[in-house]
């Protein structure tokens, strides 16, 4: 996907999270660990680097993880297109992150495309399929943005002033191959001249809201305010929030939504304060093989992410400091599950639907 030849539905942001230069057998990604203090691009030219980028969270976000996994499989087949190598690379990439279903979906899609082919034809077919996955994600992002924009316009028609939207974690262009999911309606609304005021949840412990979402909104000039995660309920109780929209890492067949830890808390507060709560969900994030949220594996990460924090000091140096007494134990679950009953609706590329098995099946009958 050469930048100059990108389809019109793709977001022309200068910080595209994933690029494949024309004809290249590698991809370029943003190393998101450096944000918001520096914009650093990294070249991924072998499957081991792709796996490392996913595992170490150079890149993150369910759709982007899926696309990078697909390209990682193509890189592996460049090395060795045999059946054994295909199986080994698929397993290695699939093991990098357990919760986001897009990774397994993308790997399975590439494998299904290349497995019937002769070994000599597999690598080229894998690159083409990975390109198709990335382009499809960008198109889904744009469609989600259009459907979500209708929600924002409806609020603007009902009350004066900017539309006040709360986000959680980062479901922006940095997490996808295009406009983002939960942010796509915001980006389109801003481009359309709709006044916005975005509440950005910091998203402890990795601070994806503070480091990434705030940075993306600033790049576009969208008014936003950062808040501590624990203030979400108060903001809704005060009547300062018109709508909450989040992304998703996996959606079960019954409509339960697994997303970044802290999403469930916001859904509870939204329900108690009559604030609409939506999840932006491209269809590859729906796991039709998982009946409900209780069956979704929840990733537990290193406790050091909770016990320390990184930032930039007065001298421009990035430093990591401890914030708890030495020897303190910490738990670090990366995701939680919001029950379908707390969700006003799911914003998909085909439209907005209720979070339920029957409504999802009606929206995607070929997948149900």
Active centre residues (catalytic): 249
Q: Which two tokens stand for residue 99?
A: 């919760």
The answer to whether the bond into 36 is cis (omega within 30° of 0) is yes
Q: In what order do the strands lie in the sheet with 286-287?
A: 286-287, 250-252, 257-260, 335-338
In whole angstroms, what is the distance from residue 90 CA to residue 279 CA?
29
In whole angstroms, what is the distance from residue 97 CA to residue 95 CA?
6
Q: Which two tokens stand for residue 140?
A: 């889904």
* Per-residue burial over 117-128, b = 16 or more CB atoms within 10 Å of its CB, e = otherwise: eeeeebbebbbe
Q: Which two tokens stand for residue 344?
A: 């006003």
Calculated CA dihedral for residues 11, 12, 16, 21, nearest 10 degrees: 120
C-alpha closest to that of 260 among 200, 179, 323, 310: 200
In whole angstroms, what is the distance from residue 117 CA to residue 63 CA?
26
Identify whether the C-beta of residue 114 lies closer than 8 Å to the C-beta of residue 83.
no
Residues found in the chain: 368
């Amino acid at each position: 996907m050469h930048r100059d030849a990108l389809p019109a539905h793709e977001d022309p942001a200068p910080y595209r999270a994933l690029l494949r230069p024309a004809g290249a057998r590698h991809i370029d990604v943003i190393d998101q660990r450096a944000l918001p203090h520096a914009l650093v691009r990294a070249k991924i030219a072998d499957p081991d680097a792709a796996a490392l980028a996913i595992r170490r969270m150079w890149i993150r976000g369910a759709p982007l993880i899926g696309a990078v996994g697909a390209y990682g499989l193509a890189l592996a087949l460049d090395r060795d297109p045999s059946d054994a190598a295909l199986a080994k690379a698929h397993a290695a990439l699939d093991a990098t992150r357990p919760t986001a279903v897009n990774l397994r979906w993308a790997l399975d899609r590439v494998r299904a495309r290349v497995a019937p082919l002769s070994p000599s034809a597999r690598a080229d077919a894998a690159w083409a399929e990975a390109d198709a996955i990335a382009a499809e994600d960008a198109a889904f992002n744009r469609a989600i943005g259009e459907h979500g924009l209708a929600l924002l316009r409806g609020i603007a028609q009902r009350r004066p002033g900017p539309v006040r939207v709360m986000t959680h974690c980062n479901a922006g262009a940095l997490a996808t191959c295009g406009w983002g999911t939960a942010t796509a309606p915001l980006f389109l609304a801003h481009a359309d001249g709709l006044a916005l005021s975005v509440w950005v949840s910091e998203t402890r412990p990795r601070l994806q809201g503070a480091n990434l979402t705030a940075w993306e909104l600033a790049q576009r000039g969208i008014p936003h305010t950062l808040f501590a995660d624990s203030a979400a309920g108060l903001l809704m109780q005060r009547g300062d929030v018109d709508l909450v929209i989040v992304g998703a890492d996996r959606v079960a067949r019954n409509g339960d939504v697994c997303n970044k830890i802290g999403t469930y808390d916001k859904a509870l507060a939204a329900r108690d304060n009559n604030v609409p709560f939506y999840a932006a969900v491209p269809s590859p994030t729906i796991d039709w093989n998982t009946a409900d949220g209780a069956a979704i594996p929840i990733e537990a990460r290193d406790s050091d992410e909770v016990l320390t924090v990184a930032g930039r000091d007065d001298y421009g140096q990035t430093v990591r400091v401890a914030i708890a007494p030495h020897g303190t134990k910490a738990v670090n679950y990366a995701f939680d599950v919001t029950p379908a009953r707390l969700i006003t609706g799911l914003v998909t590329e085909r439209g907005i639907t209720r979070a339920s098995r029957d409504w999802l099946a009606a929206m995607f009958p070929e997948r149900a």
